Chains A and B, each alone.
Chain A
């Protein structure tokens, strides 16, 4: 009752000053979103449009631009190094992120089973790699995987009878080292997201399943995974987008030779090299546009595929 009266009172007052009030709010609304959109127009939208225009021009950043149609795209698409860099990006992306998501779910599942006091401790330790910067991770792993025969990584694989690997200059050595550092830095991040997801699953679902005689494994595949679906979709989406933008890890890991070798050159490194080492802004912009298309395509595909997991499960149930 009181509430209704109050609202009536407010609305009466409102009609009196409605016009000016509304106008004021409109003005404030525009005014308050203006800072973001002004900055966005200058350093977000304008460069994005400029990039797309630039993809059809020949330009070194200094002289006049020259319209060359689709020439930049055909240069990039006919460059074996572009395809190599795309291949590297996809391989490192798969090796670095796919295991991460699986291990993340398992760790979150275990964390969720542990006593709370321990959960807090393990949560902090497992999450800690994420706070280190990509550069720091690349440098530490760069020493761990140094090409010398006495590198710690070589000592460790030596214990299993394997020959030393020159991690920075071999096709698979570089990819494995970079995938491992991506894995190490991000697995805790995904674990935290999955853990939040697990904690949002109602406990009585499991209790009901136990009463119905479902085992732990069955519960995991028929309750946990389907209920985690939104979180899995989110992490797959973010991992896909992040993996295709890989730059700092390989560039810093390989040091001064990063842009001269092709074992771990990623698409963004290829773009960077075109623009800032070779001064070819046109082809670099064409690569940027291609990268946008690849990222949107891959993110859409992976999101579609992960949504499929749940659908299959539902049918089974």
Chain B
């Protein structure tokens, strides 16, 4: 009863504030769409144009003339998918070992992993670049992706999840039945940790999708561009065509918005799970 009263008394200002916060959150998305449908000249009109125009296709054609958009989109998808799968495998194997096996130095290794979370990635930027160039991996997705295989948070999450949700008895029983450790990993652990895979998968996928500094450093040839690098290059012209620019940003953002709207619960859960543990 008291709770209902509380809701009523405070509700109107609460909803007004939340409504404005939502409006401010969404406005740049809407405005990006409007600009993507307008000729560049519309930008100079006063008062500003806030309704969509008819240049949606035209602006996008200009994007295609300027950057290899679909190539970049494809590169990004390949990069994000392979890195995500690799990180899931590496993290779940290591998480399994840390959660269920006893071996000398276990705590030491685990503390090492926690320490790597604190070191800023820029510390190694120059030697990493040098290493990748020596390997001949500049301008390749291999070079762009290899850095993201290091995901200490992934091991941390997996260890947590496996020690909580895979019962020791189950593993012992499987061992009595003569299962090898790898078989236990594949047939018992993997099916149980699927939800954790979804969480970590979303974290890694969005991280790689949006990361800029490393991809910008390693990918210099337009054919190897990922979306972020390609988009950034749109802004380098002396006179930038704003309609074209925001058309590129719009079409590069739409896939992520769709994925987000479908899986928004998982996205939001990935933030809280990733940070609260």
Contacts and interface: CB of A to CB of B under 8 A. Distances in A.
Nearest to B276: A196
State the main secondary structure of chain B at its contact with A: helix
B128 A47 contact: yes
Contacts of B260: 128, 131
Given A36-B155, A122-B18, A152-B48, A128 B25 contact: yes
- Classify chain A: how many residues form its interface, as a range: 35 or more
Contacts of B187: none
A123 B268 contact: yes
B126 A114 contact: no
B236 A256 contact: yes
Nearest to B151: A36
A306 to B, nearest CB: 15
Contacts of B66: none
Interface in B218-255: 227-228, 231-232, 234-238, 240, 242, 245-246, 249, 252-253
B88 to A, nearest CB: 12
B120 A245 contact: yes
B31 A152 contact: yes
Contacts, number: 281
B176 interface: yes
A188 interface: yes
Interface in A113-165: 113-115, 118, 121-137, 139-144, 146, 148, 150, 152, 155
A6 B6 CA distance: 53
A226 B11 CA distance: 24
Given A25-B102, A131-B257, A150-B44, A126 B22 contact: yes
A27 to B, nearest CB: 8
Interface stretch (A48-56, A77-85, A88-96, A170-178): A48-56
Interface in A13-69: 13, 21-22, 24-26, 28-33, 35-37, 39-40, 42-44, 46-48, 50-51, 54, 61
Interface in B1-28: 2, 6-7, 10-11, 14-15, 17-18, 21-22, 24-26, 28
A51 B124 contact: yes
Interface string B76-101: 00000000000001110110111001
Contact of B150 (A13, A43, A268): A43
Contacts of A126: 18, 21-22, 25
B35 interface: yes
A44 B150 contact: yes
B245 A281 contact: no
Nearest to A196: B272
Contact of B93 (A35, A140, A281, A284): A35
Interface residues of B, number: 102
A35 B94 contact: yes
Nearest to A122: B18
B119 A48 contact: yes
B130 interface: yes
B256 interface: yes
Given A10-B172, A152-B31, A131 B256 contact: yes
A114 B15 contact: yes
Contact of B97 (A24, A32, A188, A284): A32
B73 interface: no
A32 B96 contact: yes
A155 B249 contact: no
Given A252-B232, A291-B120, A24 B48 contact: no
B125 A275 contact: yes
29 contacts: A10-B172, A25-B103, A29-B97, A29-B101, A36-B90, A36-B91, A36-B155, A43-B131, A43-B149, A47-B127, A114-B15, A123-B268, A127-B271, A135-B210, A135-B228, A137-B28, A139-B232, A146-B43, A148-B43, A148-B44, A150-B46, A184-B24, A192-B272, A196-B276, A271-B122, A272-B213, A275-B126, A288-B123, A289-B123
Given A33-B93, A40-B116, 17 more contacts: A6-B169, A10-B172, A33-B97, A50-B130, A54-B127, A114-B18, A126-B25, A128-B257, A134-B228, A150-B43, A184-B25, A210-B2, A251-B212, A256-B238, A268-B122, A276-B217, A295-B120
Interface of B: 2, 6-7, 10-11, 14-15, 17-18, 21-22, 24-26, 28-29, 31-32, 35, 43-48, 89-91, 93-94, 96-98, 101-104, 106, 109, 112-113, 116, 118-131, 146-147, 149-150, 155, 169, 172, 175-176, 181-182, 185, 206, 209-210, 212-213, 216-217, 227-228, 231-232, 234-238, 240, 242, 245-246, 249, 252-253, 256-257, 260-261, 264, 267-268, 271-272, 275-276
